[in-house]
Structure 1
């Protein structure tokens, strides 16, 4: 009796286990497969594109000059002030003339004496009293005295400073009564009246390499809000500026010039960079939302070639605009770019295209 009871208990346990196993299998079979993630696509077509590089700097001119005296002396008068307009040939500063006039007078007296000595030597030579060598030495002394007189006269003419061109006085670097040496800057001027304004900006190594001569630019001037002026890259520095530690480019204004502009005024511009090589000519414009994990000049995007599976690839960023990112490398073999739903994707995720 006990044996039959034990046997029945074991049979019930086995039956319960079988029923549980069948129930577990039914539950597992009810788990749905992972659903495809809805995404939106953008067809990819490479095309030539001008990347835009924003820059900023200060306005200046291409004809700034530091004016100084040819000789040293005491400044007698400075006839202009900072900001004054000047005309070409206008006297702007003078030295005390006492010293330089005395040098001219000494040279004049030495020249007159040399002329008299030459005349006496000539008369003596004609009378066969002086030798040919003595006559030639007198002639040489006279020529040297004449050149010394010309030098003294030249220095006197340059004991005044005249404006080299029409423009403005930017800075006054010395004062009346000050003793200055030859070549010491006294005034800084430019030719701003001729309209040769340019925006001098500092750029990074990568921006300097991308920007080329004659690239066009849209320039904004703080004193003329709401207006944009045209310009082009007129010069690229061939070395780093020690003061800023960056490269320098000059953007020269063309066409209409702003009416209110001054030396040192802040300005900004957007340089439109032309492709310099065949490889750079093939670029893509993509929305900002499509770029993931951006880090400097690189990032990641999701693409698809079959419309069913997402693929994550690395791309190179060539520039940025108001509404788009410019991609230069990484999309050559891609047909369509995923522009919506990227945040929910991983590499090889199943996707469902929505309009």
Structure 2
């Protein structure tokens, strides 16, 4: 009698299948489903009515720092001031040797005298009908040209000397006695410090430049002022990027002159406070910001208290525990401040607390 093995094979196959199925179920039981909700804490968003504050650094200067030079080049004969000396308007600062200029002036005067004699002679001969009208007119033109040459040389002789244009200080002496300088070569740099024309030049980013308007106020602090702060206002804005610093320049004028003596190049800090009445601004906790780089970052918000949404925001100032957001939260109603590291865009959430 033969025994069939088919029932045994069928039972074995079922056993193997059951074992594989149980293994798969065990594996799945250790995975965290993607649809699990994440407990979060929410912060209701309100447009901040406080001012946006940021700080910029710069140096003091005057609005009329000037490079002084000779109009006519030559050898510097004498320099009467040094770097740091006080100057007054019209004061003689330097002079070049004028022998060459005097020689040219003498030649020009002789040329005028000769041209005048030629013109007088031509005029008499023309009245006697000896010369033509054209010859008399040519002599008159030659006299006019000689007179203009003399006038030009006399004008240049006035600028063979350098005189101060303001009541201030010599910031730099860029040449020495005996040095040969060409026309327009800078010899002195002066300012009008004694007239109180001090201003602070600070460098700001393009975003800050766009926020600041002429007439805005700021608070100025410097080491030379001690603990005292001075109010100032924006008087000018640059209309182009400074290639040396990579920033835009803002110029501030002090509301009152400090008792401390200032010097060109003194370092100072300006704190600006911008009103947020026109633009929506939010102050959010620092821990809610993700991937911030000083200008922009990401946060998670929710519109329905059920789903998280990752949004990009533009940043203003960043402090130890708070971040100012300039844009990106206009349509959001609540900010996720706890649980953000475990979220992805579109993840379901469960609200634990809400402020």
- TM-score interval, normalised by the smaller of the two chains: 0.7 to 0.9
Instruction: Check the 8 A contact 1:82/1:170 in 2, yes or no.
Output: yes
Shift of 1:149: 0.9
Instruction: State how far apart, in whole Å, the 2-side matches of 1:305 and 1:220 are.
Output: 44
Unaligned runs of 5+ in 2: 1-35
SS at match of 2:188: strand
Matched, 1:81 2:82: yes
Instruction: Check the 8 A contact 2:218/2:272 in 1, yes or no.
Output: yes
CA 1:257/1:318 → structure 2, altered by over 3 Å: closer, same or farther?
Answer: farther
What's 2:255 paired with?
255
Instruction: Check the 8 A contact 1:92/1:161 in 2, yes or no.
Output: yes
- Aligned ranges for residues 135-284 of structure 1 at < 5 Å? 135-244=136-245, 246-258=246-258, 259-273=260-274, 281-284=279-282
**Per-residue Cα deviation, 1:282-319 (whole angstroms, up to 9, x for no partner):** 1212232443442443334455667x758454241331
What's 2:285 paired with?
287
CA 1:354/1:275 → structure 2, altered by over 3 Å: closer, same or farther?
Answer: closer
Matched, 1:353 2:353: yes
Unaligned runs of 5+ in 1: 1-33
SS at match of 1:107: helix
SS at match of 1:223: helix
Shift of 1:35: 11
Shift of 1:159: 0.5
What's 2:28 paired with?
none
Shift of 1:36: 9.4
SS at match of 2:225: coil
Instruction: State how far apart, in whole Å, the 2-side matches of 1:47 and 1:37 are.
Output: 27
Shift of 1:45: 1.9
What's 1:316 paired with?
313
**Per-residue Cα deviation, 1:168-199 (whole angstroms, up to 9, x for no partner):** 11110100111111111111111222222222
Shift of 1:204: 3.4
TM-score normalized with structure 1 length: 0.77
Instruction: State how far apart, in whole Å, the 1-side matches of 2:150 and 2:225 are.
Output: 55
Q: How many residues align?
A: 316
Shift of 1:63: 0.9
TM-score normalized with structure 2 length: 0.77
Shift of 1:75: 0.6
What's 1:330 paired with?
328
What's 1:70 paired with?
71
Instruction: State how far apart, in whole Å, the 1-side matches of 2:131 and 2:300 are.
Output: 105
Shift of 1:44: 2.4
RMSD: 3.1
What's 1:4 paired with?
none
SS at match of 1:115: helix
Shift of 1:37: 5.7
Q: Which moved more, 1:328-337 or 1:192-201?
A: 328-337
